[in-house]
Amino acid sequence: MLNNTMYELGAMRSCIRELFEYGLRQAKAVGKENVFDYSLGNPSIPAPALVNESIRDIVENENTLQVHGYTSAAGYDGVRKAVADDLNARFQAGVRPENLFFTCGAAPALVSVLKALITGPEAEILTVAPFFPEYRPFTEANGGKFTVVPPDMEHFQINFEALEAAVNANTQGVIINSPNNPSGVVYTRETLERLAAILRAKGEEFGHPVYLIADEPYRELVYGGVQAPWVPAIYENTVVCYSWSKSLSLPGERIGYVLVPDACADAEALYCAVAGAARICGHVCPPSLLQRVVARCVTQMPDLAAYDENRTLLYRELSRMGYHMAKPDGAFYLFIQAPDGDSEAFSEKAKQKNLLVVPGTSFGCREYFRICYCVSNDMIRRSLPVFEELINGK
Protein backbone atom coordinates (compact mmCIF):
# COMPACT_ATOMS: atom_id res chain seq x y z
CA MET A 1 0.00 0.00 0.00
CA LEU A 2 1.27 3.45 -0.91
CA ASN A 3 0.00 6.95 -0.44
CA ASN A 4 -1.99 7.31 -3.64
CA THR A 5 -1.87 11.11 -3.72
CA MET A 6 1.91 11.01 -3.61
CA TYR A 7 2.03 8.21 -6.19
CA GLU A 8 -0.12 10.21 -8.59
CA LEU A 9 1.93 13.37 -8.09
CA GLY A 10 5.11 11.46 -8.83
CA ALA A 11 3.71 9.61 -11.84
CA MET A 12 2.13 12.69 -13.43
CA ARG A 13 4.20 14.02 -16.31
CA SER A 14 4.72 17.79 -16.42
CA CYS A 15 3.75 19.20 -19.79
CA ILE A 16 6.77 21.53 -19.68
CA ARG A 17 9.22 18.71 -18.96
CA GLU A 18 7.64 16.58 -21.70
CA LEU A 19 8.07 19.35 -24.23
CA PHE A 20 11.65 19.88 -23.13
CA GLU A 21 12.45 16.17 -23.46
CA TYR A 22 10.69 16.03 -26.83
CA GLY A 23 12.97 18.91 -27.88
CA LEU A 24 16.07 16.93 -26.89
CA ARG A 25 14.89 13.92 -28.93
CA GLN A 26 14.03 16.11 -31.92
CA ALA A 27 17.44 17.80 -31.74
CA LYS A 28 19.03 14.38 -32.27
CA ALA A 29 16.67 13.61 -35.16
CA VAL A 30 16.69 16.92 -37.09
CA GLY A 31 19.69 18.79 -35.66
CA LYS A 32 19.88 21.11 -32.66
CA GLU A 33 19.79 24.21 -34.86
CA ASN A 34 16.36 23.23 -36.21
CA VAL A 35 14.60 22.98 -32.85
CA PHE A 36 13.29 26.19 -31.24
CA ASP A 37 12.78 25.31 -27.60
CA TYR A 38 10.98 27.97 -25.55
CA SER A 39 9.70 25.53 -22.93
CA LEU A 40 11.86 25.64 -19.81
CA GLY A 41 12.71 28.59 -17.52
CA ASN A 42 16.35 27.85 -16.85
CA PRO A 43 18.38 31.10 -16.56
CA SER A 44 20.67 31.66 -19.53
CA ILE A 45 22.83 34.43 -18.10
CA PRO A 46 25.68 33.14 -15.96
CA ALA A 47 25.84 33.78 -12.24
CA PRO A 48 27.80 37.00 -11.47
CA ALA A 49 31.58 36.43 -11.29
CA LEU A 50 31.50 37.18 -7.56
CA VAL A 51 29.46 34.01 -6.97
CA ASN A 52 32.16 31.66 -8.22
CA GLU A 53 34.93 33.80 -6.71
CA SER A 54 33.15 33.60 -3.35
CA ILE A 55 32.72 29.84 -3.60
CA ARG A 56 36.43 29.40 -4.33
CA ASP A 57 37.47 31.73 -1.54
CA ILE A 58 35.11 30.19 1.02
CA VAL A 59 36.17 26.63 0.18
CA GLU A 60 39.87 27.50 0.19
CA ASN A 61 40.06 29.93 3.09
CA GLU A 62 37.24 29.32 5.56
CA ASN A 63 37.04 26.60 8.17
CA THR A 64 36.12 23.42 6.25
CA LEU A 65 34.21 21.84 9.10
CA GLN A 66 32.06 24.94 9.46
CA VAL A 67 31.66 25.50 5.72
CA HIS A 68 30.20 22.01 5.31
CA GLY A 69 28.60 21.75 8.74
CA TYR A 70 24.99 21.97 9.90
CA THR A 71 23.73 25.47 10.57
CA SER A 72 20.72 26.55 12.57
CA ALA A 73 17.46 25.63 10.80
CA ALA A 74 16.65 29.27 9.98
CA GLY A 75 20.16 29.97 8.69
CA TYR A 76 23.29 31.65 10.08
CA ASP A 77 22.57 34.75 12.17
CA GLY A 78 25.18 36.75 10.26
CA VAL A 79 23.74 35.76 6.90
CA ARG A 80 20.22 36.64 7.95
CA LYS A 81 21.56 39.98 9.13
CA ALA A 82 23.26 40.65 5.78
CA VAL A 83 19.99 39.96 3.95
CA ALA A 84 17.93 42.01 6.41
CA ASP A 85 20.38 44.94 6.01
CA ASP A 86 20.07 44.75 2.23
CA LEU A 87 16.24 44.71 2.34
CA ASN A 88 16.27 47.63 4.75
CA ALA A 89 18.66 49.62 2.56
CA ARG A 90 16.63 49.01 -0.61
CA PHE A 91 13.06 49.06 0.69
CA GLN A 92 13.23 50.65 4.17
CA ALA A 93 11.69 47.31 5.10
CA GLY A 94 12.28 47.33 8.87
CA VAL A 95 13.29 43.67 8.71
CA ARG A 96 15.11 42.01 11.61
CA PRO A 97 17.29 38.94 11.01
CA GLU A 98 14.82 36.99 13.17
CA ASN A 99 12.08 37.63 10.60
CA LEU A 100 13.92 35.53 8.00
CA PHE A 101 13.77 31.75 7.70
CA PHE A 102 16.13 30.46 5.04
CA THR A 103 14.97 27.61 2.80
CA CYS A 104 16.21 25.60 -0.17
CA GLY A 105 14.59 28.04 -2.63
CA ALA A 106 11.16 29.57 -3.19
CA ALA A 107 9.33 26.26 -3.71
CA PRO A 108 10.04 24.92 -0.19
CA ALA A 109 9.42 28.43 1.17
CA LEU A 110 5.94 28.35 -0.35
CA VAL A 111 5.23 24.84 0.89
CA SER A 112 6.23 25.83 4.44
CA VAL A 113 3.98 28.90 4.42
CA LEU A 114 1.05 26.99 2.95
CA LYS A 115 1.44 24.15 5.43
CA ALA A 116 1.54 26.71 8.23
CA LEU A 117 -1.72 28.30 7.03
CA ILE A 118 -3.76 25.22 6.08
CA THR A 119 -5.69 24.39 9.21
CA GLY A 120 -7.99 21.71 7.77
CA PRO A 121 -9.88 20.63 4.64
CA GLU A 122 -12.02 23.77 4.63
CA ALA A 123 -9.00 26.09 4.65
CA GLU A 124 -8.73 27.79 1.31
CA ILE A 125 -5.81 29.25 -0.62
CA LEU A 126 -6.57 31.57 -3.50
CA THR A 127 -4.40 32.52 -6.37
CA VAL A 128 -4.82 34.79 -9.35
CA ALA A 129 -4.56 33.40 -12.89
CA PRO A 130 -2.27 33.10 -14.69
CA PHE A 131 -0.34 31.32 -11.95
CA PHE A 132 2.65 29.02 -11.35
CA PRO A 133 1.10 25.51 -11.64
CA GLU A 134 2.92 24.09 -8.60
CA TYR A 135 0.69 26.18 -6.30
CA ARG A 136 -2.08 23.64 -6.84
CA PRO A 137 -0.27 20.48 -5.62
CA PHE A 138 1.50 22.50 -2.91
CA THR A 139 -1.94 23.44 -1.54
CA GLU A 140 -3.98 20.33 -2.25
CA ALA A 141 -1.42 17.77 -1.11
CA ASN A 142 -1.21 19.69 2.16
CA GLY A 143 -4.94 19.25 2.65
CA GLY A 144 -6.20 22.69 1.57
CA LYS A 145 -8.71 23.84 -0.99
CA PHE A 146 -7.18 25.60 -3.99
CA THR A 147 -9.20 28.28 -5.77
CA VAL A 148 -8.18 30.17 -8.88
CA VAL A 149 -9.37 33.71 -9.52
CA PRO A 150 -9.86 34.09 -13.29
CA PRO A 151 -7.45 36.42 -15.09
CA ASP A 152 -7.76 40.07 -16.04
CA MET A 153 -7.52 39.32 -19.75
CA GLU A 154 -6.80 42.92 -20.68
CA HIS A 155 -3.66 43.74 -18.71
CA PHE A 156 -3.00 40.58 -16.67
CA GLN A 157 -3.12 42.59 -13.46
CA ILE A 158 -5.92 41.35 -11.12
CA ASN A 159 -9.58 40.74 -11.92
CA PHE A 160 -10.80 42.48 -8.76
CA GLU A 161 -14.49 41.69 -9.15
CA ALA A 162 -13.70 37.99 -9.34
CA LEU A 163 -11.22 38.24 -6.47
CA GLU A 164 -13.65 40.04 -4.22
CA ALA A 165 -16.30 37.42 -4.91
CA ALA A 166 -13.86 34.58 -4.25
CA VAL A 167 -12.49 35.63 -0.84
CA ASN A 168 -14.61 34.03 1.88
CA ALA A 169 -14.50 33.16 5.57
CA ASN A 170 -12.31 30.11 4.86
CA THR A 171 -9.71 32.03 2.85
CA GLN A 172 -6.45 31.74 4.76
CA GLY A 173 -4.14 33.15 2.13
CA VAL A 174 -3.86 34.62 -1.34
CA ILE A 175 -0.77 33.84 -3.42
CA ILE A 176 0.44 36.47 -5.84
CA ASN A 177 3.47 36.30 -8.09
CA SER A 178 4.93 39.50 -9.49
CA PRO A 179 6.92 39.73 -11.74
CA ASN A 180 4.73 36.96 -13.02
CA ASN A 181 5.41 33.55 -14.43
CA PRO A 182 3.94 33.07 -17.05
CA SER A 183 2.81 36.58 -18.08
CA GLY A 184 5.94 38.65 -17.40
CA VAL A 185 3.64 41.31 -15.96
CA VAL A 186 4.67 43.34 -12.90
CA TYR A 187 1.79 44.28 -10.60
CA THR A 188 1.54 48.04 -10.24
CA ARG A 189 1.41 49.86 -6.92
CA GLU A 190 -2.20 50.73 -7.71
CA THR A 191 -3.05 47.04 -8.17
CA LEU A 192 -1.38 46.12 -4.90
CA GLU A 193 -3.07 48.95 -3.00
CA ARG A 194 -6.46 47.88 -4.29
CA LEU A 195 -5.71 44.28 -3.36
CA ALA A 196 -4.62 45.37 0.12
CA ALA A 197 -7.83 47.34 0.65
CA ILE A 198 -9.94 44.31 -0.29
CA LEU A 199 -8.01 41.88 1.91
CA ARG A 200 -8.07 44.31 4.83
CA ALA A 201 -11.85 44.73 4.53
CA LYS A 202 -12.38 40.97 4.20
CA GLY A 203 -10.15 40.33 7.20
CA GLU A 204 -12.29 42.70 9.27
CA GLU A 205 -15.50 41.17 7.96
CA PHE A 206 -14.42 37.59 8.78
CA GLY A 207 -12.56 38.40 12.00
CA HIS A 208 -9.23 36.88 10.94
CA PRO A 209 -6.36 38.03 8.75
CA VAL A 210 -6.20 37.02 5.12
CA TYR A 211 -2.48 36.60 4.50
CA LEU A 212 -0.92 37.67 1.24
CA ILE A 213 1.82 35.31 0.10
CA ALA A 214 4.12 37.24 -2.23
CA ASP A 215 6.04 34.71 -4.32
CA GLU A 216 8.95 36.77 -5.62
CA PRO A 217 11.72 34.77 -7.27
CA TYR A 218 11.74 37.29 -10.15
CA ARG A 219 11.77 40.48 -8.02
CA GLU A 220 15.02 41.80 -9.52
CA LEU A 221 14.19 40.77 -13.10
CA VAL A 222 12.53 43.98 -14.30
CA TYR A 223 13.15 46.08 -17.40
CA GLY A 224 12.84 49.62 -18.72
CA GLY A 225 12.98 51.29 -15.31
CA VAL A 226 9.96 49.38 -13.93
CA GLN A 227 10.21 48.47 -10.23
CA ALA A 228 8.36 45.70 -8.43
CA PRO A 229 6.85 47.48 -5.38
CA TRP A 230 7.77 46.15 -1.94
CA VAL A 231 4.55 44.37 -1.02
CA PRO A 232 4.86 44.31 2.82
CA ALA A 233 4.90 48.14 2.77
CA ILE A 234 1.50 48.08 1.07
CA TYR A 235 -0.25 45.27 2.96
CA GLU A 236 0.70 44.49 6.55
CA ASN A 237 -0.21 40.78 6.48
CA THR A 238 2.26 39.90 3.73
CA VAL A 239 4.63 36.95 3.88
CA VAL A 240 7.39 36.96 1.25
CA CYS A 241 8.80 33.83 -0.39
CA TYR A 242 12.05 34.60 -2.18
CA SER A 243 14.87 32.78 -3.88
CA TRP A 244 18.18 33.56 -5.60
CA SER A 245 17.43 30.98 -8.31
CA LYS A 246 16.83 33.69 -10.93
CA SER A 247 18.50 36.85 -9.60
CA LEU A 248 21.87 35.12 -9.16
CA SER A 249 21.17 32.41 -11.79
CA LEU A 250 21.53 29.65 -9.18
CA PRO A 251 18.43 27.46 -9.58
CA GLY A 252 20.30 24.22 -9.06
CA GLU A 253 21.93 25.35 -5.83
CA ARG A 254 18.70 25.85 -3.85
CA ILE A 255 18.72 28.90 -1.61
CA GLY A 256 15.92 31.29 -0.62
CA TYR A 257 13.87 32.42 2.36
CA VAL A 258 10.52 33.08 3.97
CA LEU A 259 10.13 36.56 5.42
CA VAL A 260 7.49 37.03 8.12
CA PRO A 261 7.59 40.77 8.91
CA ASP A 262 6.76 42.00 12.45
CA ALA A 263 3.71 43.80 11.10
CA CYS A 264 1.99 40.52 10.17
CA ALA A 265 -0.83 39.41 12.40
CA ASP A 266 0.47 36.77 14.86
CA ALA A 267 3.92 37.19 13.36
CA GLU A 268 5.77 35.18 16.01
CA ALA A 269 3.35 32.27 15.90
CA LEU A 270 3.29 32.29 12.12
CA TYR A 271 7.10 32.26 11.96
CA CYS A 272 7.10 29.33 14.37
CA ALA A 273 4.52 27.46 12.28
CA VAL A 274 6.62 28.05 9.15
CA ALA A 275 9.65 26.57 10.95
CA GLY A 276 7.53 23.61 12.10
CA ALA A 277 6.18 23.04 8.61
CA ALA A 278 9.69 23.13 7.15
CA ARG A 279 10.81 20.66 9.79
CA ILE A 280 8.24 18.04 8.87
CA CYS A 281 9.17 18.43 5.21
CA GLY A 282 12.61 17.24 6.26
CA HIS A 283 14.26 20.65 6.23
CA VAL A 284 17.34 20.49 8.45
CA CYS A 285 19.15 23.65 7.41
CA PRO A 286 19.68 25.67 4.27
CA PRO A 287 22.95 24.80 2.47
CA SER A 288 25.77 26.27 4.52
CA LEU A 289 28.04 27.07 1.57
CA LEU A 290 25.28 28.85 -0.32
CA GLN A 291 24.30 30.90 2.71
CA ARG A 292 27.87 32.17 2.85
CA VAL A 293 27.80 32.95 -0.87
CA VAL A 294 24.53 34.85 -0.53
CA ALA A 295 25.93 36.96 2.31
CA ARG A 296 28.79 38.06 0.05
CA CYS A 297 26.63 38.56 -3.07
CA VAL A 298 23.45 40.01 -1.61
CA THR A 299 23.96 43.44 -3.15
CA GLN A 300 24.74 42.04 -6.63
CA MET A 301 22.17 42.84 -9.27
CA PRO A 302 21.86 40.60 -12.33
CA ASP A 303 23.10 41.92 -15.67
CA LEU A 304 19.85 41.69 -17.58
CA ALA A 305 21.12 42.99 -20.94
CA ALA A 306 20.80 39.63 -22.73
CA TYR A 307 17.26 38.99 -21.44
CA ASP A 308 16.25 42.53 -22.28
CA GLU A 309 17.54 42.20 -25.84
CA ASN A 310 15.54 38.98 -26.30
CA ARG A 311 12.44 40.50 -24.74
CA THR A 312 12.58 43.60 -26.94
CA LEU A 313 13.16 41.60 -30.12
CA LEU A 314 10.35 39.13 -29.45
CA TYR A 315 7.85 41.74 -28.30
CA ARG A 316 8.53 43.93 -31.33
CA GLU A 317 8.55 41.17 -33.95
CA LEU A 318 5.64 39.11 -32.62
CA SER A 319 3.51 42.27 -32.19
CA ARG A 320 4.37 43.28 -35.76
CA MET A 321 3.17 39.86 -36.98
CA GLY A 322 -0.15 40.41 -35.19
CA TYR A 323 0.27 38.39 -32.00
CA HIS A 324 -1.27 39.87 -28.84
CA MET A 325 0.48 39.58 -25.52
CA ALA A 326 0.70 41.02 -22.05
CA LYS A 327 3.31 43.81 -21.73
CA PRO A 328 6.39 41.97 -20.50
CA ASP A 329 8.02 44.22 -17.90
CA GLY A 330 9.58 41.46 -15.84
CA ALA A 331 10.74 37.84 -15.39
CA PHE A 332 11.73 36.11 -18.65
CA TYR A 333 8.46 35.01 -20.16
CA LEU A 334 6.00 36.23 -22.77
CA PHE A 335 2.37 35.16 -22.54
CA ILE A 336 0.84 35.28 -25.99
CA GLN A 337 -2.69 34.83 -27.24
CA ALA A 338 -3.04 31.78 -29.48
CA PRO A 339 -4.31 33.07 -32.85
CA ASP A 340 -7.39 30.80 -32.75
CA GLY A 341 -7.79 31.14 -28.96
CA ASP A 342 -6.75 27.55 -28.24
CA SER A 343 -3.20 27.29 -26.93
CA GLU A 344 -3.31 23.47 -26.79
CA ALA A 345 -3.99 23.23 -30.52
CA PHE A 346 -1.48 26.01 -31.24
CA SER A 347 1.24 24.32 -29.20
CA GLU A 348 0.61 21.05 -31.07
CA LYS A 349 0.81 22.79 -34.46
CA ALA A 350 3.97 24.61 -33.42
CA LYS A 351 5.48 21.31 -32.24
CA GLN A 352 5.10 19.90 -35.75
CA LYS A 353 7.42 22.72 -36.84
CA ASN A 354 9.83 22.06 -33.95
CA LEU A 355 8.77 25.24 -32.17
CA LEU A 356 8.14 24.36 -28.53
CA VAL A 357 5.75 26.63 -26.61
CA VAL A 358 3.81 25.82 -23.44
CA PRO A 359 -0.02 25.90 -23.55
CA GLY A 360 -1.52 28.18 -20.90
CA THR A 361 -4.03 25.64 -19.60
CA SER A 362 -2.06 24.66 -16.50
CA PHE A 363 -1.43 28.37 -15.77
CA GLY A 364 -5.22 28.88 -15.68
CA CYS A 365 -5.51 30.55 -19.09
CA ARG A 366 -6.09 28.22 -22.04
CA GLU A 367 -6.28 31.03 -24.60
CA TYR A 368 -2.61 31.97 -24.15
CA PHE A 369 0.70 30.17 -24.53
CA ARG A 370 3.97 30.84 -22.75
CA ILE A 371 7.40 31.27 -24.20
CA CYS A 372 10.48 31.49 -22.06
CA TYR A 373 13.09 33.79 -23.57
CA CYS A 374 16.17 32.74 -21.63
CA VAL A 375 17.47 31.28 -24.88
CA SER A 376 20.05 32.48 -27.41
CA ASN A 377 19.23 35.59 -29.42
CA ASP A 378 20.28 33.68 -32.51
CA MET A 379 17.69 30.97 -31.86
CA ILE A 380 15.03 33.65 -31.50
CA ARG A 381 15.96 35.19 -34.86
CA ARG A 382 15.88 31.81 -36.60
CA SER A 383 12.52 30.95 -35.03
CA LEU A 384 10.71 34.12 -36.14
CA PRO A 385 9.70 32.79 -39.61
CA VAL A 386 8.00 29.85 -37.87
CA PHE A 387 5.93 32.20 -35.68
CA GLU A 388 5.01 34.09 -38.85
CA GLU A 389 3.94 30.92 -40.68
CA LEU A 390 1.79 29.91 -37.72
CA ILE A 391 -0.07 33.21 -37.44
CA ASN A 392 -0.69 33.11 -41.17
CA GLY A 393 -2.31 29.69 -40.72
CA LYS A 394 0.43 27.80 -42.54
**Per rule CB under 6 A, is residue 175 in the interface with ligand PLP?**
no
Among residues 41 and 229, whose Cβ is nearest to ligand PLP?
41
- Cα four-point dihedral sign 183, 187, 191, 196: positive
**Per rule CB under 6 A, is residue 247 in the interface with ligand PLP?**
no
Residues 135, 363: Cα–Cα separation, whole Å: 10
**Per rule CB under 6 A, is residue 302 in the interface with ligand PLP?**
no
Of the residues 83, 106, 176, 248, which one makes contact with ligand PLP according to CB under 6 A: 106
Q: What is the DSSP string of 116-146?
A: HH--STT-EEEEESS--TTHHHHHHTTT-EE
* Contact between residue 388 and residue 381 where contact means Cβ atoms under 8 Å apart: no
**Per rule CB under 6 A, is residue 334 in the interface with ligand PLP?**
no
User: What binding mask, one character per residue, do residues 205-244 give for ligand PLP by CB under 6 A, x or -?
Assistant: ----------x-x-------------------------x-
Among residues 132 and 335, whose Cβ is nearest to ligand PLP?
132
Q: Which of 208, 274, 212 is nearest to 240 (CA)?
A: 212
Among residues 307 and 387, whose Cβ is nearest to ligand PLP?
307
Tell me how far, at minimum, the Cβ of 135 lies from ligand PLP, in Å.
Answer: 8
**Per rule CB under 6 A, is residue 132 in the interface with ligand PLP?**
yes
Of the residues 19, 36, 37, 41, which one makes contact with ligand PLP according to CB under 6 A: 41
* Contact between residue 40 and residue 249 where contact means Cβ atoms under 8 Å apart: no
**Three-state DSSP state, 377:** helix
Tell me how far, at minimum, the Cβ of 252 lies from ligand PLP, in Å.
Answer: 9
Q: How far is CA 300 from CA 132, 258, 303, in A?
A: 26, 20, 9
Binding segment toward ligand PLP, per CB under 6 A, in 61-69, 102-110, 354-362, 377-385: 102-110
Q: Pairing relation of β-strands 36-37 and 211-215?
A: unpaired
Binding segment toward ligand PLP, per CB under 6 A, in 90-98, 105-113, 140-148, 205-213: 105-113
Binding segment toward ligand PLP, per CB under 6 A, in 58-66, 104-112, 225-233, 279-287: 104-112
**Per rule CB under 6 A, is residue 291 in the interface with ligand PLP?**
no
Residues 68, 143: Cα–Cα separation, whole Å: 35
How many residues in the shown chain lie near ligand PLP by CB under 6 A? 13
**Per rule CB under 6 A, is residue 332 in the interface with ligand PLP?**
no
Among residues 331 and 355, whose Cβ is nearest to ligand PLP?
331
Among residues 310 and 354, whose Cβ is nearest to ligand PLP?
310
What ranges in the chain are assigned the alpha helix state H? 4-11, 15-30, 49-61, 64-67, 77-91, 106-117, 135-140, 160-166, 189-206, 267-280, 288-297, 305-321, 343-352, 377-391
Name, in order, each residue with C-beta under 8 angstroms of 45's C-beta and a sequence gap of 6 or more: 249, 302, 303, 304, 306, 307, 374
- By CB under 6 A, name the binding residues for ligand PLP: 41, 105-107, 132, 177, 181, 215, 217, 243, 245, 251, 256
